Amino acid sequence: MAAPDHNTAEPWEPTSEFTWTDRAYDLLEQNLLHAQVDVVDGVLTTKVWGRCPRCAGQLHDVQVPTAVGDFAGTRGGGGWGSAVPEPPVVIVDVTCGCGVPHLDAPEGTTGCGVTFRVELVAEGAPPSTSVTP
């Protein structure tokens, strides 16, 4: 079912302009979009849910990234001895999956077509090890 303020008249457009990532961060700050990353038994899972930054439809995106990389880093500025490893940062690209077919969408496609990016901090992941599913 569409959200009360879901703009279903917004035509489908496959766009990933930075504007949508910027709006997604605004929605995160307003608590209208939510994101989390979990690491359980070495498996990293991301979840993004809430309002789409373009059509305001409700989306729910769960991903298990296939290539994460080594996110080792340091925090602090006191020299080698005082460096504290940073937790891995996971970048997630989310495409609207609001469940509603928008005007001009390819057959069988739901959502408005927008793709945006969210950065998550994987607090439970070992900082010097790659986390792969």
Q: Which residues lie closer than 8 Å to 94 by C-beta, 6 or more apart?
A: 24, 48, 59, 61, 115, 116, 117, 118
The pLDDT value recorded for residue 68 is 46
CA angle (10, 91, 123) in 5-degree steps: 125
Does residue 30 form part of some domain?
yes
Does residue 1 form part of some domain?
no
Does residue 4 form part of some domain?
no
Beta carbons of 60 and 97 less than 8 angstroms apart? yes
Domain that holds residue 100: 18-121
Between CA 47 and CA 105 the distance in angstroms is 25
Residues of the chain with pLDDT under 50: 1-3, 67-82, 127-133
CA distances in angstroms from 44 to 26, 61, 84, 106, 130, listed in the order given? 25, 14, 22, 31, 10
Does residue 51 form part of some domain?
yes
The pLDDT value recorded for residue 120 is 85
Q: How many domains does the chain have?
A: 1
Q: Smallest Cα–Cα separation from 25: which of 86, 92, 75?
A: 92
Each residue of 67-79: pLDDT tens digit? 444 434 444 444 4
* Structure tokens given for 130: 């790659």
The pLDDT value recorded for residue 90 is 85
* Structure tokens given for 91: 């970048």
Does residue 3 form part of some domain?
no
